[in-house]
Structure 1
Amino acid sequence: MTFYCDHCGGPAEEGDHAGCLAARAMEPPRYCARCRRRMVVQVTPTGWSARCAEHGLLGG
């Protein structure tokens, strides 16, 4: 099974995702790590939620 970077959407095993990891410290995920689909993200003062059309709701 292939996993994807939840910040840039690229294959997690390929390339350097250090910049993505640094950005994820302050931002919610934008792509589903399972299927690479762009997620619907809502940011609130207390956190965030992200929904993949295939895999459902994630929260943080």
Structure 2
Amino acid sequence: MTGTYCVHCGEPLAGSEHPRCHTPRTALEPPRFCAQCARRMVVQVTPTGWEARCSRHGACTSEGTG
């Protein structure tokens, strides 16, 4: 997922390195913030994956669809 905002902390990507957001641990976690608008997303984690939904930009899943 690419965009203007960090999906782990919601801060703008431009001009910041986000060292705490880019660790091996966070690579396995679902996004918590929308990459397009930085809104907090509704995240549902299941045994087989996850789905994250932004009220404005829709859903994304661990399978990469959406």
TM (norm. structure 1) is 0.87
Could you tell me which runs of 5 or more consecutive residues in structure 1 were left unpaired when the two chains were aligned: none
1:46 corresponds to 2:53: no
| 1:28 equivalent among 27, 30, 37 | 30
Size of the aligned set, in residue pairs, is 59
Higher helix share: 1
For residues 17 and 47 of structure 1, what CA distance do their matches in structure 2 show? Answer: 25
Kindly provide the amino acid, as one letter, of the partner of residue 12 in structure 1.
L
Could you tell me which runs of 5 or more consecutive residues in structure 2 were left unpaired when the two chains were aligned: none
Which consecutive segments of 4 or more residues in structure 1 shift more than 4 A? none
Kindly provide the amino acid, as one letter, of the partner of residue 11 in structure 1.
P
Superposed CA RMSD in Å reads 1.4
What is the percentage of aligned positions where both structures have the same residue?
Answer: 56
1:50 Cα deviation (Å)? 0.1
Kindly provide the amino acid, as one letter, of the partner of residue 6 in structure 2.
C
**1:5-16 equivalences in 2 (<5 Å):** 5-16=6-17
